[in-house]
Amino acid sequence: MTVEPRAFLRGLYDAAVAAALPATCLPAHLPGPPRGRTIVIGAGKAAAAMAQVVEERWRGAISGIVVTRYGHGAPCRRIEVIEAGHPLPDDAGAEAARRILALVGEAHADDLVLCLLSGGGSALLAAPAPGLTLDDEREITRALLARGATIAEINCVRKHLSSIKGGRLALACGAARVHALAISDVPGDDPAIIASGPTLADATSSADARSVLARYDVAVPPRVATHLRSAASETPKPGDTRLARSDCVVVARAQDALDAASRTARAAGVTPVILGDRVEGEAREVARKHAERVRELLERGAPARSASARREGAAASLPCVLLSGGETTVTVRGRGRGGRNGEYLLALAAALDGAPGVHAIACDTDGIDGTADNAGGIMTPDTMRRARAAGFDAEAALADNDSYGFFGALGDLVITGPTRTNVNDLRAILVTGTERHSDQ
């Protein structure tokens, strides 16, 4: 193997992100123009970049509004871009949702509502149900995030507290055709979960939302509890004829990013082994399982043949890279900084404790790991040695959820800035065995 590990891993991440950029994945899926107007709306971390692509490619007049996270905007001339809060909704997101609902309320049967959705759209489209407040939505979201709820669970609750999620946005479009294009940030790529499925029927119920809140022991204000027991909290269900003119196409997903990273690895002479595109669970527990897999590889010198290797008729061998996507969770117990990728990487470093010839990267494809300014980080075989020399205890950092402080002190944060896409996380573990490199 002649590749430099850090550059190799960063190259995998860059390839994964590039595969999911709106300019790459969106153009082929744009529909034809309608007889009437084209109204563009959208929400998510990729929404502004998606709107930019639509402007560049669309034949005919368009107008509309999209909302994205602060710092994730992109210059558009005909589609207004609003920036708002994420992961917790704020007044800017609420105002954007109000304006979007008003805009689509003017649509007619000959019009097309083109809806651009991506990860983050749930927080950015903040429209509490009548009788509820933005604070209700914000505090319940905060509690579920801190307790490690999955994105599907969080979005189930969000749908039943909202005037716009769970198909209600499509209802507001009346007789107009609604065509959504979505970049998936959810394990399994269910379009009804992406951005809380504002244009699609919802198979979950208010009872499901109540069960999620009870499971995570979330304190629910009386008005929220009353709402979740009312008929008004129910979303439109599959088969609802009011949604007959609404559809959704997923244009990019985690598997696309993993496939791009896999091709890049193979071109460099490294065997890719894809562990899956929908990995979920507590970040530190996923890391420990992956560490066990790495130790098995080191002991026998080669991984079990991957599905891709079987298709190609070749056995995988060292050096290899274990690739995985999906979205892990973090139960917040400490006061440190860091997101799920940093937590995963810190737990992986602690579990491997200097295993020779093992490097790893874990980054969010949106460029932001949690609420910090990094996409994630990089682990090397000497991470633990360097940390101890600098006076850092990995287990203590893990207990305080302080992966940002840990990897920041070592100079191993990956900082990209907003990528303006989001197909969740890319984790890559490069296993070379006893091979030595200059950074060991």
Q: Which fold has domain 5-17+255-431?
A: glycerate kinase, domain 1 (3.40.1480)
Of residues 187, 197, 169, the one with CA closest to residue 64:
169
Q: Crossing angle of helices 206-215/151-159, nearest 10°?
A: 130
The count of C-alpha atoms lying within 13 angstroms of the C-alpha of 424, restricted to the half-sphere facing its C-beta, is: 29
Structure tokens at 409: 């002190």
Strand order in the sheet with 63-69: 79-84, 63-69, 38-43, 112-118, 177-183, 246-252
**Cα angle, residue 22 at apex, residues 265 and 253 outer, rounded to 5°:** 55
- The reported pLDDT for the residue numbered 57 is 96
Give the tens place of pLDDT for each residue, 221-275. Answer: 999 999 999 999 999 999 999 999 999 999 999 999 999 999 999 999 999 999 9
Q: Which residues of the chain have pLDDT under 70?
A: 1, 302-316, 434-440
Amino acid at 253: R
Give the tens place of pLDDT for each residue, 181-208. Answer: 999 999 999 999 999 999 999 999 999 9
Same CATH topology for 5-17+255-431 and 31-252: the answer is no
- The reported pLDDT for the residue numbered 408 is 96
Domain coordinates in residue numbering, the chain: 5-17+255-431, 31-252
Q: Is CATH 3.40.50.1100 what the domain over 31-252 is classified as, yes or no?
A: no
Distance CA 252, CA 311 (A): 23
The answer to whether the CB of 382 falls within 8 A of the CB of 436 is no
- The reported pLDDT for the residue numbered 54 is 98
Q: Crossing angle of helices 134-146/151-159, nearest 10°?
A: 160
Kind of pairing between the strands at 63-69 and 376-379:
unpaired
- The reported pLDDT for the residue numbered 158 is 98
